[in-house]
Structure 1
């Protein structure tokens, strides 16, 4: 029996963290040694804690054990559920010190703060271009890599960006997304609209 005077008798020799049970200390030690004894049988990924392996396993099974009590939506990870819950509460605890803006997530606040500082921490490894966020860098990198991961389900066409695929799909669906601001004529392609505008004496798309 563990005495109440010393309810965490197992002490880490690296950082002095204390634990109630020996197996908890053993699991903690892996964070210092770098050892990852828990291996995913599906993909070979390794983890230092059994709990992390269990969470990872959901990515293979499709299980979503965490359910929102408000709307019934289910999530693979507890962290995802916690982020979702703020959509019901309306709480925005992360406030900007430079303006009245407030956010539900710390990551959103960090991204917003760049609009005040003009800082661009994401740098391209191929050229000198810099970006405020990871998404901007990702879109830019396609220029260098030539990767086209968005494929049309109707034909063999491939595109670098989802927006390009969306525009291409209009050639199959017949949807006309581009409207002339002068006569309201509609076109499936932006280039066709620009050509049409010349008949009005303009090449500017509003």
Structure 2
């Protein structure tokens, strides 16, 4: 039986060639105006200006990126994600308190979204701005009133002129909805069952 040595040994010349081959360094075309540092990306140069030469007159004029400033300290950055991380790590308590600055006077609800806060407050004060033209129903939001028109007064004359939301209709039956997901689910069921408008009474809306 012959035995073969399958282990690989590098040629000495090959090893010498591998060692002597210089590594290609990445190009750094963006040079600092105030020092000898160079950078591979323009954003890195902008951060360098902001962090190391901010006291030099005219340094910030060389920054084309938007500068994001912390409202709690002097920290500034051109990266919005860095600013968010800074607030959470350095000003966690202040940041959490400021993001929930709107507090309900009737319950423990709080939010930083003014629109959501107004809608919530109306539930306590019974303020409803959208009244139905056919009955005594009133709603906090126009989309809720549109849904009411669609399901309670869909056969009233000119009711479609009162609905401002987009209405999704089934071409096989009388089904209508304001919800795109529900419309897609209904269409799938209707098509599978092979209903037509004549079979609309068999189709479950």
TM range (shorter): 0.3 to 0.5
Structure index of larger Rg: 2
TM value normalised by structure 1: 0.34
Q: Which of 1 and 2 has higher RCO (CA within 8 Å, sep 6+)?
A: 2
TM value normalised by structure 2: 0.34
